[in-house]
A and B are shown apart, each in its own frame.
Chain A
């Protein structure tokens, strides 16, 4: 594992291929960062209300809400995780109110469908608004005096395939608008995103396609000069059978009589098929673990600090999130 110091990072962007559990990891990371009395904001931008579901609270409005106590670690006072569901339309209205004081003209924009145009049709504006709000939460300024100042912001970001475009949208826009207020706003946002205060973490599972996409994602992010953070390997299978024994299982080198004896001793009466079934399951597991090991080597080869989270067979609930948060804390991502 490559050692890493994340203490300077204020904005943790969490991305990953669909199905790898990036939202879960983002939530666990927010809990882990919110230990030791820290204030952390967890943002989502894809309109799915995933945070509300994970933390079992009512759907989130466009407002920062306290949703959970941070991870209790080393018996120190935990901090607080706040959550924000960023909605492009609300963000645009807030932005216009904050920066332009348009008044009646602002309402006219809405009436003429300009707000709808901007947030659904106009190319990229949606992403500019979403990233703009994230920027505002990280870099609170005098225009939003009463707002909480956070020690860290975690963004549950769009998937790996879209992440560079999403974060880079301000750069695209700055290219489109060569002068003017949008240009300077876009430039400021890009300065933060490209600074060491931002880290883009990639979540993967140990399967070919997600690992490949992670590798491609790192190349794209690097090319766009966006700071690549950690690779978080999620849903790792339990490894309580040693590699040697797995090899024995695969090569038919295990004596079924030994398993039968063990089962009897443990109070399980082995019926005809049980031993063979257990061995068959182990053979299947061995195949999958061998594939995982191959993918793990590829992940190691990416040269990024790597963290691993176990697969929770019961699925993810709030308790599971704290377990994963503890894992991240112990491994040093938070």
Chain B
């Protein structure tokens, strides 16, 4: 989705006919209530989410940012070192870019997946049944230490915050960072997987013996239970059955909420931003994501190419620089000028490669609006740093 709106600031340069992503227009759009930042690990997704949230807040939006696994210093910079699963106000916001405060604010929280899961159980089941579930070893493993749960719980928490915000008007923009999954797609697949699992024959199979007389047991069921017992042992199977039986009444609610969140993501008020670094793997992952979002009718706002190398401004090519450096080194091996030329050549080559990668992405996905963010030398430690990243993402400042 390309937004045909007026630009607010000058945007980072990108070659060719690639539409430029107007980040500020997106942040200012009151029709947008959810921004989801996705992309592969290590591209600066969490920092970008936090920076966008801060910028939106300082432009007058009432924002909550849901981070999944922020680096310690980033969390500290927003004052959310404690992982308590509740949005906390971020102190130190500046009045907005135009100098007049318009009631913007920023809360931040870190997802605690076990706690989120526990809370769902507690809110949905009777106290007695909740206790039974929370004490089940299979549940404890499922909710605390295993991969995959994070994706479900991120969706769950997003749904909760959105419902609360709708009810009490606490926020008008939710910025979501997505879990560092094996694949960025795991996040989108979570509700679908949950549904197909809950509807599956396997659940019914697990429920059968626990529900008393095994009159539903066909030959196939018997064979399966036999095989499972052989592989898993009776104790694991019994824990699983107890868990599924206790959880049975909650399944409907889970599925319903997962489905609702999925629909929420597809709705008008949601915008996806795909974050990538100018590296082959990250851009490939971004391309998958762009295609997948289109397939699922999810609204894509654009691509943020993070950590782009700063462009050399001159006309001296990499090859010329290397040749000149070689000539100087013949005479004086430790020549400073040769070192400078070599540095220039390296930089030109890197920029050239990055440009090529972006051009290829743009050729395959010409409709995707893109913002280019130059790499900062250091990491973000404080709100000022986050603010700077926000400016860079919005193209409101050059390095």
A105 touches B340 (CB 8 A): no
Q: What CA separation (Å) do A177 and B236 show in the bound complex? A: 6
Residues of A close to B138: CB separation below 8 A = 123, 176
Q: Mark A165-186, 1 if CB is under 8 A from B, else 0.
A: 1100100100011111111000
- CB distance B377 to A287 under 8 Å? yes
Select B347's contact among A113, A124, A281, beta carbons within 8 Å. A281
Tell me if A123 and B226 are in contact (CB < 8 A).
Answer: no
**A151 close to B (CB within 8 Å):** no
Q: Which residue of A lies closest to B72 (CB)?
A: A212
Q: Taking the complex as formed, is B398 at the interface, i.e. its CB lies under 8 A from any CB of chain A?
A: no
Query: Bound state CA distance, A262 and B193, in angstroms?
Result: 65
Contact assessment for A176 and B316 in the assembled complex, using a CB-CB cutoff below 8 Å: no
Minimum CB–CB distance from B294 to chain A (whole Å) comes to: 21
The DSSP consensus for interface residues of chain B is helix
In chain A, positions 245-304 with a C-beta closer than 8 Å to chain B are 245, 254, 258-259, 262-263, 265-268, 271, 273-274, 277-279, 281-282, 284-285, 287-288, 291
Nearest to B149 among chain A residues (CB) is A123
With beta carbons under 8 angstroms apart, the residue of A105, A114, A161, A210 that contacts B180 is: A161
| Distance of A105 from chain B, by nearest CB (Å) | 4
Whether A123 lies near B142 (C-beta < 8 A) is: yes
Given known A176-B239, A177-B235, contact A161–B69 (CB-CB < 8 A): yes
- From A208, A245, A287, give the contact of B339 (CB < 8 A): A245
Once A114-B228, A262-B335 are accepted as A-B contacts, the answer to whether A180 and B223 lie under 8 Å apart by CB is no
Cα(A210)–Cα(B202), bound, Å: 41
> Does A308 lie at the interface of the complex (its beta carbon under 8 Å from any beta carbon of B)?
no
Q: Tell me the number of A-to-B contacts counted with CB atoms below 8 Å.
A: 222
> Known interface pairs A241-B340, A281-B343. Does A315 touch B353 (Cβ–Cβ under 8 Å)?
yes
Q: CB distance A19 to B42 under 8 Å? A: yes
- Interface check A10, CB cutoff 8 A: no
Binds A, one of B13-21, B50-58, B322-330: B322-330
Query: Taking the nearest CB of chain A, how far is it from the CB of B50, in angstroms?
Result: 13
Is the pair B313, A273 in contact by a Cβ cutoff of 8 Å?
yes
Cα(A213)–Cα(B200), bound, Å: 39
The answer to whether B230 and A18 have CB atoms under 8 Å apart is no
Name the contact of B353 in the complex, choosing from A23, A113, A313 (C-beta under 8 A): A313
Could you say which of B167-175, B246-254, B264-272, B274-282 contacts chain A?
A: B274-282
Beyond A179-B235, A268-B316, A315-B353, is A124–B141 a contact (Cβ under 8 Å)? Answer: yes
> Which residues on B sit within 8 Å (CB–CB) of A223?
none
B334 at the interface (CB under 8 A from A): yes
A242 to B338, CA, bound (A): 12
A20 touches B42 (CB 8 A): yes
* B43→A108 contact, CB < 8 A: no
Determine if A50 is an interface residue (Cβ-Cβ < 8 Å).
Answer: yes
Query: What band does the interface of chain A fall in when counting residues whose beta carbon is under 8 Å from B?
Result: 35 or more
Q: How far is the CA of A20 from the CA of B40 in the complex (A)?
A: 12
Chain A residues with Cβ below 8 Å from B327 are 265-267
B342, A180: Cβ atoms under 8 Å?
Answer: no
**B231 contacts A181, C-beta separation under 8 Å:** yes
Per the bound structure, the CA–CA distance linking A265 and B332 in Å amounts to 12
| Chain B contacts for A120, CB-based, 8 A | 148, 193, 197
Instruction: Tell me, in angstroms, the Cα distance from A10 to B25 when the chains sit together.
Output: 55
Whether a CB of chain B sits under 8 angstroms from the CB of A85 is no
Most buried by B among A18, A46, A291: A18
**A219 adjacent to chain B (CB < 8 Å):** no
Question: Which residues of A sit under 8 angstroms from B297, Cβ to Cβ?
Answer: none
A148-173, CB < 8 A from B: 158-159, 161-162, 165-166, 169, 172
**Does B201 belong to the interface (CB within 8 Å)?**
yes
A48 and B281 CA atoms in complex are apart in Å by 9
A112-B201, A209-B379 as given contacts; A121 in contact with B148, CB under 8 Å: yes
Known A212-B72, A242-B334: A126·B231 in contact at CB below 8 Å? no
Bound together, the chains give a CA A285 to CA B379 distance in angstroms of: 16
> Is B145 a contact partner of A172 (Cβ separation < 8 A)?
yes
Please state if B231 and A100 are interface contacts (CB–CB under 8 Å): yes
Interface residue B388 (Cβ < 8 Å from any Cβ of A): no
Pick from A20, A48, A281: contact of B340, CB under 8 Å: A281
Q: Which residues of B contact A4 (CB under 8 A)?
A: none
Q: Which of B176-213 contact A (CB under 8 A)?
A: 180, 182-183, 193-194, 197, 200-202, 205
* Partner pick for B197 among A117, A165, A273, CB 8 A cutoff: A117
One digit per residue, 1 when the CB lies within 8 angstroms of any chain A CB and 0 when it does not, for chain B 362-399 equals 00000000000000011100000000000000000000
- Nearest chain A CB to B319 CB, angstrom units: 12
Cβ of A17 under 8 Å from chain B = yes
Knowing A267-B327, A291-B378, A313-B350 touch, does A274 contact B316 (C-beta < 8 A)?
Answer: yes
A208 to B42, CA, bound (A): 12
* 24 A-B pairs in the complex with CB atoms less than 8 angstroms apart: A18-B42, A23-B281, A46-B182, A100-B227, A102-B230, A113-B201, A114-B205, A114-B228, A121-B193, A124-B147, A126-B147, A161-B180, A169-B146, A176-B239, A182-B236, A208-B73, A209-B73, A259-B340, A263-B324, A268-B316, A268-B341, A274-B316, A278-B343, A313-B353
- 11 other A-B residue contacts (CB within 8 Å) besides A114-B202, A238-B346: A18-B41, A113-B197, A121-B194, A162-B147, A179-B235, A180-B232, A181-B233, A212-B72, A278-B344, A284-B377, A313-B346
The 5 A-B pairs of least Cβ separation, nearest first, read: A180-B233, A18-B41, A19-B42, A18-B42, A123-B146
